[in-house]
């Protein structure tokens, strides 16, 4: 987990970035990934922040099952570099922004 600054359509907020969620291949599909995301969600809510994560399309379904939503933006930048993969947030509805600028990778 990492503190990140996110500027979404010009509005700056501090969020908690979730990265490197990983479960050993021998114990995949037993609920441990969901458990990790649940613990991360508790931490995020306790700190009164929004959560953000970067993900490849093949794992979007996993995060969606854990209650995270797709963020649409055709103009996403991370640490001054253009980013083209998926972004998700722990919001109730999918989000759509014209531009999303994240200050660091995580
Ligand atoms: C992605 C990963 C963390 C999931 O962990 P896991 O312990 O296998 O997942 P869980 O058993 O907790 O599954 C939680 C839910 O997500 C679903 N799910 C799991 N992997 C999924 C996937 N790749 N795509 C879609 N849904 C998935 C499960 O079916 C389950 O849904 P259900 O409870 O409705 O049945 C694990 O597969 C992994 O470590 N993968 C390799 C590393 C990786 O790609 N990490 C993501 C970095 S962005």
Q: Which atom of ligand 1 is nearest to the CA of 59?
A: 23
Q: Ligand 1: residues within 6 Å at CB? A: 21-23, 28-34, 55, 58-59, 61-62, 65
H/E stretch holding 62: helix 60-65
pLDDT in the model for residue 61: 97
Question: How far does residue 46's CA lie from ligand 1's centre (Å)?
Answer: 24
pLDDT in tens, 62-99: 999 999 999 999 999 999 999 999 999 999 999 999 99
Question: How far does residue 29's CA lie from ligand 1's centre (Å)?
Answer: 6
The domains of the chain, with CATH numbers, are 2-102 (3.40.630.30)
How far is CA 92 from each of CA 22, 56, 75, 89, 98, rounded to the nearest angstrom? 24, 21, 22, 9, 19
pLDDT in tens, 27-55: 999 999 999 999 999 999 999 999 999 99
């Amino acid at each position: 987990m990492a503190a990140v600054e996110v500027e979404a359509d010009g509005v700056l907020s501090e969020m908690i970035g979730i990265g490197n969620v990983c479960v050993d291949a021998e114990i995949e599909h037993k609920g441990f990934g969901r458990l990790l995301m649940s613990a991360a969600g508790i931490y995020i809510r306790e700190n009164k922040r929004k959560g953000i994560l970067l993900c490849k399309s093949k794992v979007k379904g996993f995060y969606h099952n854990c209650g995270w939503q797709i963020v649409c933006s055709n103009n996403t930048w991370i640490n001054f570099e253009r980013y083209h993969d998926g972004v998700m947030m722990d919001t109730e509805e999918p989000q759509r922004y014209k531009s999303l600028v994240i200050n660091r990778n995580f």
